[in-house]
Chain A
């Protein structure tokens, strides 16, 4: 089980935070461009899902899976978007994202008066806590070990 990378987007599409742990494939474009592409894709998926859904969706899009990785998606009612790429055997990554929101984002960004909301997160403490949370999670098992 591996966690590849994490994106946090604000409600208007700004990349607030990006972290990567095990990433073999570089997409060949800059991080900024990649974030825009990712946000655009998520935005399209959201509208795609709401149209194709046969019943009234509540949470909407949860995850998608390809042959090599799974993208887990969590959106808060305030429009904050958490995106986590893992390998295909990982389960419950959604809970981990919820935990990230509850225990790290709220505690170290929202409760930090020096952090501007809707702007990229600079806080070192936040970075360290995110790293800690993922490294102690059972989903994190680096392939290099």
Chain B
């Protein structure tokens, strides 16, 4: 039973709050010999595995370190180009560390504003009249629950597909938002939520739900 994260999207589609609760870190280090048996590509300022997944290193994983020294963009700390290093047989064997890319804050804002039209189109393409937008979206690795309030704010929880009681959790988060964000005189509507009390209360609520289900929240 894991809750991965909570997002709050404002009426106009901007991300106003985000909390990563329990995101697993996927990292793999392996020693490679020349020539490499995987294909690496440079995209979006990252070196990404594009073909040849093996030993837990999957397509889409990002190269984070070479022989223990971190990779920044396509270069090592000392300014050497990683692709040039990988082409020279005398550098091998080499230990490369890969991890699944974590979302940056910018990407989260981007995804939040991407969810907004998906939500709207889902209700437009409905075969039944008077339909809401997406309430549950399931993939094989997670389930996303969305609750839209009457005022248009969306509360989104990403959790394991087996996690139960998310509907109650969403309403409780709404309650916390009403109590600790809206009643805070320093909080202005539609702006990112930076209220300490809200965050600490949310944190303990999430831990409670994970530990003992939603029955006693």
Contact = CB atoms under 8 A, between A and B. Distances in A.
Contact count band on A: 35 or more
A4 B60 CA distance: 36
B132 interface: yes
24 contacts: A4-B127, A23-B127, A25-B126, A25-B131, A27-B125, A27-B126, A37-B121, A38-B125, A48-B115, A49-B139, A51-B103, A54-B5, A54-B23, A54-B158, A55-B141, A56-B26, A57-B140, A57-B141, A59-B140, A62-B138, A64-B135, A64-B138, A65-B136, A85-B127
Given A65-B136, A66-B135, A56 B100 contact: yes
B132 A68 contact: yes
Interface majority SS (helix, strand, loop, mixed), chain A: mixed
Interface in A16-69: 20, 22-25, 27, 34, 37-38, 40-41, 44-45, 48-69
Nearest to A3: B127
Nearest to B114: A48
Most chain A C-beta atoms within 10 Å of own C-beta, residue among B23, B118, B137, B142: B137
B122 interface: yes
A55 B23 CA distance: 9
3 nearest CB pairs, A to B: A4-B127, A67-B132, A68-B128
B130 interface: yes
